[in-house]
C-alpha cells in the first residue's frame, strides 16, 4: 500500500504541476474522452476486456469510469466480501487492458446518497444500519428515492475509507469517483447528529472529507455536479440540480475536484458555470444524441475562452450508459453491423456514444 500511495502521489503532483489539467490542449483535443459503466460481472469480463482493448481505442476513449459500489469482493472489511463479484485478480485484468489501450481507469463508489434503490437497501447500510441518516424510518424504503448515510456518524468514514482504499489500490487508480448525485436525504430532522443543520454545510463538509482522504492516498476526486446547481434559480429542477439547499456548497468545495456535469434531457450551459467557478468539468450525456452534441459544443466553446484558466477547465466528455456492460456491448456491436435494435437504455446509450465520439474525432 505504501508503494502504491507514493506512486499515485507522484502522478498527482505531475498532473497539478502544469497548473490546470489540459491547459496544453485548450482549444484542441479534449483531454478527457470518457465513458462510464457499471462494473462488469464475472460472466461479462472476457467481453469487457476485449471491448476495452479493441473498441474503446478505436472510438478515441481515454478514460473509463467503472462504478463498483459494493459489487466487488472486498477483503479489508469481511462484511462486504462478495465472491460472486469481481475481485482483485479480475480487476487487475481490466487494469492491464486499460494500460495497454492508453485508458485511465477510474473506480467509483457512491458516497452519501444512493444507498438504496427501490425496496433494496445497498450493502453499506445493510451491513451498518447504524450509519443510516434515517434509521427506523421509511420501512421498505417507501416514500423516498434513495437512502443516505449520515456524514457526521463518528465511525462511517473508517469503514468507507477502507473500501475506497482497497478498490483504489486494486485499480491502481490516480483518480476516484465518489458519486454524490441526487442526494435528497440530508440533514434529516430526526438524525441525532444532522438534525437542524444546514444542508449546504453538511454537503460541503462531506465533499471536503472525501477529497482530503483521496488526496492523502494520491487520488484526485471526481464527482457528479448536480447538488452544486441551484435548481430553482436556474429552472433546471430538483433532479439534475438541487432544490433542497445543497447548492451553496459549491462555494466551499475544493477546486481541484473534477465535476461530472450530467444532463440527459437538455444541454444546459452548466459546464461553463463550473469552469468559471474554478472546477475542471466534463459534460455527461446519456441516450439523447442531440443533447450530447450540444454539450460537446458547450465544452468546445469553453476551451476557446479568452481566459486561459477557464478554457483549460473545459476538460471534455464522459458518456454515461446506465445499463449492464454486457448489454451495452451487444447493442454497440449490433449497431456497428447495421442491425435493427429495440429502443432501450443499452441501444440508446450505445447510439449516443457512437455519434458523440464520431463528432469528437472529427473536431480534433
CA distance 320 to 353: 8
Percentages (nearest 5) of helix, strand, coil residues in the chain? 45, 15, 40
CA distance 328 to 24: 33
pLDDT (mean) for 248-264: 98
Q: What is the pLDDT of residue 23?
A: 41
Q: What is the pLDDT of residue 25?
A: 47
Tens digits of residue pLDDT in 100-131: 999 999 999 999 999 999 999 999 999 999 99
Closest Cα partner for 109 from 219, 271, 244? 219
Domain residues of the chain, as ranges?
30-362
Tens digits of residue pLDDT in 11-60: 343 343 333 444 444 657 999 999 999 999 999 999 999 999 999 999 99
Cβ contacts of residue 254 below 8 Å, gap of 6+? 207, 208, 211, 221
Do β-strands 116-117 and 120-121 pair in parallel, antiparallel, or remain unpaired? antiparallel
Q: Out of 2.60.40.10, 3.40.50.1360, 3.40.50.10320, 3.20.20.80, which CATH number does the structure's domain 30-362 have?
A: 3.20.20.80
Q: To 10 degrees, the CA torsion angle through 14, 16, 20, 22?
A: 30
CA distance 294 to 63: 21
Amino acid at each position: 500500500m505504501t508503494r502504491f500511495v507514493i506512486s499515485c502521489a507522484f502522478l498527482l503532483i505531475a498532473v497539478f504541476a502544469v497548473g490546470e489539467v489540459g491547459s496544453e490542449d485548450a482549444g484542441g483535443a479534449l483531454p478527457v474522452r470518457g465513458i462510464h459503466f457499471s462494473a462488469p460481472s464475472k460472466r461479462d469480463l472476457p467481453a469487457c476486456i476485449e471491448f476495452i482493448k479493441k473498441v474503446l481505442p478505436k472510438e478515441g476513449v481515454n478514460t473509463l469510469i467503472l462504478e463498483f459500489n459494493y459489487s466487488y469482493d472486498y477483503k479489508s472489511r469481511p462484511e462486504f466480501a462478495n465472491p460472486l463479484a469481481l475481485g482483485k485478480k479480475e480487476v487487475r485484468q481490466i487494469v492491464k487492458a486499460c494500460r495497454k489501450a492508453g485508458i485511465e481507469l477510474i473506480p467509483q463508489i457512491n458516497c452519501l446518497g444512493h444507498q438504496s434503490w427501490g425496496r433494496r437497501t445497498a450493502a453499506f447500510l445493510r451491513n451498518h444500519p447504524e450509519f443510516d441518516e434515517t434509521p427506523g424510518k421509511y420501512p421498505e424504503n417507501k416514500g423516498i428515492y434513495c437512502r443516505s448515510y449520515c456524514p457526521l456518524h463518528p465511525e462511517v468514514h473508517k469503514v468507507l475509507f477502507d473500501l475506497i482504499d482497497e478498490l483504489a489500490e486494486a485499480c491502481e487508480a490516480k483518480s476516484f469517483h465518489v458519486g454524490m448525485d441526487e442526494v435528497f436525504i440530508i440533514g434529516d430532522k430526526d438524525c441525532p447528529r444532522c438534525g437542524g443543520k444546514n444542508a449546504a454545510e453538511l454537503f460541503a463538509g462531506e465533499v471536503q472529507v472525501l477529497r482530503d482522504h483521496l488526496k492523502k492516498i494520491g487520488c484526485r476526486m471526481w464527482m457528479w455536479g448536480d447538488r452544486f446547481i441551484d435548481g430553482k434559480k436556474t429552472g433546471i429542477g430538483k433532479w439534475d440540480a438541487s432544490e433542497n439547499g445543497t447548492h451553496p456548497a459549491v462555494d466551499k468545495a475544493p477546486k481541484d475536484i473534477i465535476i461530472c456535469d450530467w444532463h440527459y434531457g437538455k444541454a444546459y450551459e452548466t459546464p461553463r458555470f463550473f469552469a468559471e467557478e474554478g472546477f475542471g468539468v466534463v459534460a455527461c450525456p446519456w441516450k439523447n444524441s442531440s443533447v450530447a452534441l450540444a454539450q460537446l459544443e458547450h465544452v468546445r466553446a469553453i476551451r476557446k475562452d479568452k481566459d486561459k484558466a477557464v478554457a483549460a477547465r473545459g476538460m471534455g466528455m464522459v458518456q454515461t450508459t446506465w445499463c449492464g456492460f454486457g448489454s451495452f456491448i451487444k447493442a454497440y456491436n449490433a449497431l456497428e453491423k447495421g442491425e435493427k435494435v429495440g429502443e432501450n437504455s443499452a441501444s440508446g446509450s450505445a447510439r449516443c456514444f457512437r455519434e458523440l465520439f464520431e463528432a469528437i474525432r472529427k473536431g480534433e
